[in-house]
Amino acid sequence: MGESKKETGMLLLLLLQALVMASELQTASAVETVVGTPFITASTSQFGLGIEGVAVDQLGNVYAVGFSGDGTSGIGSVANSTGEVMQKLLTKDQTGLSSFNGLRFLPASPNLPNFDLRAVAADVKRNSVVLLLRSKRDHRTRGSTFCKSNDASRHMKQPNDVAVAPRSGRIYMSGGDYGKVNTVVGDGDLWMCQAKSPFTETAVDGLGDLNATFLGHFGLTNGIEVSPDEKTLYLTESFHVAAEPYSNIIWKFDIDENGGVHNRQIFVNFTQLDDSGWVDLDGIRTDVEGNLFVTKNGLFGQTDKFHPNGTHLLTIQLPTIFETTNLEFGGPEGKTLYMSGKCIDDPDRGCVEVWNSTVPGRAWNELRSSSVTNTP
């Protein structure tokens, strides 16, 4: 009797353990996995291995840097506003003095009637952010300095990427010494530039040579993005030893009324999440609900989606891409996510895959609404 009671107890315990394990498995598999659809492939691509900085303009066309295969000085289109492949040169640095890595569009301003396209590009060679304006007259796009450090003792490390907060008229920049074998705090940085007015109605005199404000030292910083309410800044940071990453974090900060950042908190620690701290993070983007999408610059093409509360919601696997670099929403309803990286079938070329979400991207939505209010 006593023995069989003990056995029943043991069985119950085993059953309980099995139930606990099953529920843990269920929690782990709650992250949905989907597969991207090839969009620009190795056989059709006009982008090189430097494909990066995916960005959407006011009309819904999607672009990337690294066009025409010669480093990162060319910017070309990826898709038109109806979501069809469109590979056309937008602009190319002819001087050899620029190397674009990050790209974001601003709405065309009614105060700039001669220009139909306005963008900012992170220029790694010039350690500044360049303003690109396309003239209606000759359809050519020209660059000028938009934002740089005027502090002789401290320059931007790159910048690597740029985020735009249009209503507050601010841009934020990441960057780091990517050649370094072992990295420490101080090898990466965070900067901000404040324009004189919001980007929905920037006056002509608000376009030039802004003075960048230094916001802090980090490890290597890369992906940078703001929340739809412009109250939160997201920033990726990695540390390397012997040229291999060992830590990858997404930080989250509160943005104050002057554009400064406070209350630094861990949004995602990838070592804790799924032991992938050794895979570098690259571009990040938010959608209109504030979900954050991050590209993983590793052996396999991958993008992860996080709820604003930090919960990992989705993994998008990209079968034709490795070393995923950046991403942005576009397409006819702004719900198509375009993700760039090196082509598996030809590592010297840049490939793009797409995945359809249920809600539009933040940039697509903001540019669309300002284009409505800006229509004369």
The three-state secondary structure class of 368 is helix
Calpha distance 195→198 (Å, rounded): 7
Stretch that binds ligand NAG, among 81-89, 112-120, 169-177, 178-186 (CB under 6 A): 81-89
User: Residue 356, interface with ligand NAG (CB under 6 A)?
Assistant: yes
Binds ligand NAG by CB under 6 A, chosen from 8, 44, 135, 150? 150
Of 50 and 176, nearer to ligand NAG (C-beta) is 176
- Cβ-proximal residues to 122 (8 Å cutoff; 6+ apart), any chain: 53, 100, 101, 102, 103, 129, 158, 159, 160, 161, 162, 173, 175
Nearer to ligand NAG, 109 or 213 (CB): 213
Q: What is the side-by-side strand order in the sheet with 32-35?
A: 32-35, 312-318, 301-306, 292-297, 281-286
Candidates 41, 158, 336, 340: give the one binding ligand NAG (CB under 6 A): 336
Q: Is 201 in the site for ligand NAG (CB under 6 A)?
A: no
List the one residue from 307, 319, 348, 373 that touches ligand NAG (CB under 6 A).
307
H/E segment holding residue 12 = helix 2-28
Instruction: Choose which of 81, 221, 238, 324 interacts with ligand NAG (CB under 6 A).
Output: 81
Is 213 among the residues that bind ligand NAG (CB under 6 A)? yes
In whole angstroms, the minimum distance from the beta carbon of 93 to ligand NAG comes to: 26
The footprint of ligand NAG on this chain (CB under 6 A) covers a number of residues equal to 26
Query: Quick check: 141 binds ligand NAG (CB under 6 A)?
Result: no
- Specify which residues 368 forms β-bridges with: none
Single residue of 208, 229, 332, 348 touching ligand NAG by CB under 6 A: 332
Return the residue of 8, 44, 82, 144 that touches ligand NAG, per CB under 6 A: 82
**Tokens linked to 52:** 């990066």
Task: Pick one of 83, 143, 219, 301: the residue that binds ligand NAG (CB under 6 A).
Answer: 83
Q: How many CA atoms lie within 13 A of 261 on its CB side?
A: 27
Query: Is position 80 an interface residue for ligand NAG (rule: CB under 6 A)?
Result: yes
Binders in 152-171 for ligand NAG, by CB under 6 A: none
- Tokens of residue 196, six digits: 């004189």
DSSP string over 339-363: EEEEETTEEEEEEEEEEE-SS-BHH
Q: Which residues, 6+ apart, have CB-to-CB distance to 323 below 8 Å?
A: 297, 298, 299, 301, 341, 342
Element at 115 (helix H, strand E):
strand 115-123
Residues of the shown chain interacting with ligand NAG in the complex, contacts defined by CB under 6 A: 37, 80-84, 86, 150-151, 211, 213-214, 249, 266, 269, 271-272, 307, 309, 311, 331-333, 336, 354, 356
